[in-house]
Structure 1
């Protein structure tokens, strides 16, 4: 999954990298919420 994301990001422009960064932030927030909830 991570390898696929890296391969996709290499094909995207800066806008695509920004979107990928936002997705990473969302995943980090979800992970933090999960840790706090547990």
Structure 2
């Protein structure tokens, strides 16, 4: 039972990290777009 719990916990952490990674990437893209608008 503990092994299954830790497996699910690990999967949840991976999902959270993936969401954070995608969010930070979209933030960077937004900043790049803003920077290009300022330059243009």
Q: What TM-score bracket applies, with the shorter chain setting the length?
A: 0.5 to 0.7
Segments of 5+ residues of structure 2 without an aligned counterpart are 28-40
Segments of 5+ residues of structure 1 without an aligned counterpart are 1-11
- Aligned-pair RMSD on alpha carbons? 1.1
Task: Give the TM-score normalised by structure 2.
Answer: 0.64
Task: Give the TM-score normalised by structure 1.
Answer: 0.67
Higher relative CO (Cα under 8 Å, sequence separation at least 6) belongs to 1
Bigger radius of gyration: 2
Between Structure 1 and Structure 2, which shows a larger proportion of helix residues? 2
Moved runs in structure 1, 4+ residues, more than 3 A? Answer: none
